[in-house]
Amino acid sequence: KPGEQKHPKEPPSLQCMHLAVVACGDRLEETLIMLKSAVLFSNRRLCFHIFAEDSLKPEFEKKLKEWPSSYTKKFESNLYPITFSVGNAQEWKKLFKPCAAQRLFLPVILKDVDSLLYVDTDVLFLRPIDDIWHLLREFNSTQLAAMAPEHEIPKIGWYSRFARHPYYGTTGVNSGVMLMNLTRIRSTQFKNSLIPGGLTWEEMLYPLYQKYKNYITWGDQDLLNIIFYFNPECLYVFPCQWNYRPDHCMYGSNCRGAEEEGVSILHGNRGVYHDDKQPTFKALYEVIRDFPFEDNLFQSLYYPLQSKFLDTVHTLCGRIPQVFLKQIEKTMKKVYENRVIVYLGANHRY
């Protein structure tokens, strides 16, 4: 239009939202449900970066191709082997859970990707990824990654009670949902406890592991806590509703952001999708797993979820169903409205 300002095109690496996950062992289904939740609600195109054991790769390719074309056109997927650029590969593989340490090497491997959201396999998106992706704009000039606190209350937090190594802040941070500006990570010299000067990300990883390996419990997450203990100015801390775990409700509700806005990203750690310890988490997982792609979201996802939640009211997490339902209801209304507008636009001439 005359007088309209032209905006430069985004670099190719920024034209979609990059989502990375590492899957080993029996995590195939969990990973696919996570990717499904991402595709169901997100608006902008997604680029999946799936790091998987060789035995899982054919299954990933097969299952993703089975999704309806109306959804497969919303993403592209890239599969990678499990690789570690420095140190002993077998040591890295055994660190905490199989292959979990792979996430430490994402800045090194994905050299052409500017920014990335990493999530664990046991994560579910209850609103568009677009919304957490926008937090990249809130980084100041020194921040290059974002994570949520490991706990909200220091006196019952794990790090504040038991950690034998340095950790970020008063309760540490949880690495299950991690937003990263990879370009900044690759170009930064990090302060550390190894040498007086700075080290690059790749230079630092293995020596840091060697120094603290007898003191760490949670593997790669502990290493990230150590890194950001020495470089606190590099971390943006987002609130607990972006990484909502059983700890936020099983001892009583302690995530104020979720109480006010609803859960944005659900993190079912402790295996709660697959046992009966936290039926509220399991209900969400099963409803998203069983949702037929082309069905009505309210009829085949929201209403079954409400029904399942009625069976969980006897639990501490189940007593606050609105926390789990608020964002997902809001998101589904937007998806529904967008589809109605697109439909009307295609069928009416004004």
Per-residue model confidence as pLDDT tens digits over 148-181: 999 888 777 778 887 788 889 898 999 999 999 9
Mark which of 213, 238, 263 sits at the end of a domain.
238
Q: Do 259 and 160 sit in the same domain of this protein?
A: no
State the Cα–Cα distance between residues 96 and 83, nearest whole angstrom. 16
pLDDT of residue 249: 94
Residue given tokens 């990230």 in the structure block: 224
* Overall domain count for the chain: 2
Question: 315: helix, coil or strand?
Answer: coil
Per-residue model confidence as pLDDT tens digits over 211-245: 988 888 877 899 999 999 999 999 999 999 999 99
CA 319, distance to chain mean position in Å, is: 25
* Band of residue 13 on the pLDDT scale cut at 50, 70, 90: very low
| Domain enclosing residue 276, as ranges | 241-348
The answer to the question of residue 1 being in a domain is no
For the segment 199-208, the average pLDDT, to the nearest whole number, is 92
The mean pLDDT value of the chain amounts to 89
Q: Is 337's pLDDT higher than 50? A: yes
Q: Do 225 and 252 sit in the same domain of this protein?
A: no
Mark which of 238, 258, 275 sits at the end of a domain.
238
Q: Do 208 and 189 sit in the same domain of this protein?
A: yes
Mark which of 190, 209, 238 sits at the end of a domain.
238
Residue given tokens 């999708």 in the structure block: 273
Q: Do 209 and 245 sit in the same domain of this protein?
A: no
The answer to whether 132 touches 265, Cβ cutoff 8 Å, is yes
Q: Do 250 and 344 sit in the same domain of this protein?
A: yes
Q: Do 61 and 156 sit in the same domain of this protein?
A: yes
Q: Is 12's pLDDT higher than 70? A: no
Which residue would you say has higher pLDDT here, 348 or 56? Answer: 56
Task: For residue 171, give both structure tokens.
Answer: 């309760």
Q: Do 142 and 204 sit in the same domain of this protein?
A: yes
Non-local (6+) Cβ contacts of 176 within 8 A are 119, 120, 122, 123, 243, 245, 267, 269
Per-residue model confidence as pLDDT tens digits over 20-37: 999 999 999 999 999 999
State the Cα–Cα distance between residues 274 and 58, nearest whole angstrom. 24
State the Cα–Cα distance between residues 77 and 32, nearest whole angstrom. 12
pLDDT of residue 4: 38
State the Cα–Cα distance between residues 82 and 245, nearest whole angstrom. 27
Task: For residue 350, give both structure tokens.
Answer: 């004004």
The predicted model scores a pTM of: 0.91
The answer to the question of residue 2 being in a domain is no
Amino acid at 78: N
The answer to whether 221 touches 149, Cβ cutoff 8 Å, is no
Q: Is 96's pLDDT higher than 70? A: no
Q: Do 66 and 183 sit in the same domain of this protein?
A: yes
- Backbone dihedral angles phi then psi of residue 246, each to the nearest 5 degrees: -55, -35
Taking the CB of residue 206, how many other CB atoms lie within 10 A of it? 17
Q: Do 227 and 111 sit in the same domain of this protein?
A: yes
State the Cα–Cα distance between residues 179 and 135, nearest whole angstrom. 8
Q: Is 5's pLDDT higher than 50? A: no
Q: Do 274 and 337 sit in the same domain of this protein?
A: yes
In the chain, which ranges are E strands? 17-23, 46-52, 75-80, 115-119, 123-125, 145-149, 173-181, 235-237, 265-267
